[in-house]
Amino acid sequence: MPVTLVARKARNARPVHLVSEGKIEDCGLDARTLAWARSNGFTGKEGAFLLVPGDDGKVSSALFGAPARMEGFSPLGTGKLAKSLPEGDWHLEGTAGDAELAALGIALGGYAFTRYGKKPTRAISVHVPGIDPSAIQSRAEAIALTRDLINTPAADMGPEDLEKAVRALARKHRAKVAVVKGDALLKRNFPMIHAVGRAAAQAPRLIDMSWGARNHPRITLVGKGVCFDTGGL
């Protein structure tokens, strides 16, 4: 992903000031930045973005409109920063009440589907105070994997491809995978999975991925991966 959340603020990191509409004077901005914001009509409206130049004419900071409280605010709101900020190191000044939500939004905004094209070369790093960047990044990567599976055309995402994706994820996290497919579904008493998917070119299958120690609390998630022209898996 072109956005990286970092635990420490880089020495040359430029600030992104989160500004609530109508409260721009209360954000601790210097007089020059305030004047620049007013001259560009920036009021802190939710989702508004403005780059601020320094004395040398280069970008020195940015302003972003965020609600006074982040509760109930879509994570995709701060995601705009991932597309708008110039390449380099940045850090958030003020998180409007929910640092984790603001960071997750930025990470999600950096998503790009790159299976068939070039990977983005532009990269930014963002420091958000008060968060565990590795935990937020893991959540964003999990969501990105789901989006990749959804965005992959049906011709390249059949039952076999879905199984490969599960096995790749299992290898990454040292999980175990067991697969029951084709006529073996009948022998194992899964007749409905077999009935729904048996007409497809690729055999239907039940994929079971398990992770953790035997003495860990048990949590089971059951879902259906629907591939084109199979009905369901």
Eight-class DSSP state of 119: P
2: number of Cβ within 10 Å: 17
Strands 14-19 and 176-181, bridge-based pairing: unpaired
* Contact yes or no for 159/197 (Cβ under 8 A): yes
Closest CA to 33 of 49, 14, 52, 16: 52
Pairing of strands 14-19, 88-93: parallel
- Output the tens digit of pLDDT for each of the chain's 233 residues: 589 999 999 999 999 998 888 888 877 899 999 999 999 999 988 889 999 999 999 999 999 998 766 555 565 688 999 999 999 999 998 655 578 888 999 999 999 999 998 887 788 999 999 899 999 999 999 999 999 999 999 889 999 999 999 999 999 999 999 999 999 999 999 999 999 888 888 999 999 999 999 899 999 999 888 887 654 44
pLDDT attached to residue 52: 97
CA atoms within 13 A on the CB side of 96: 26
Does residue 89 sit in helix, strand or coil? strand
Which pLDDT score, from 0 to 100, does residue 6 have? 95
Cα distance between residue 164 and residue 171, in whole Å: 11
| HSE-up (13 A, CA, CB side) for residue 117 | 6
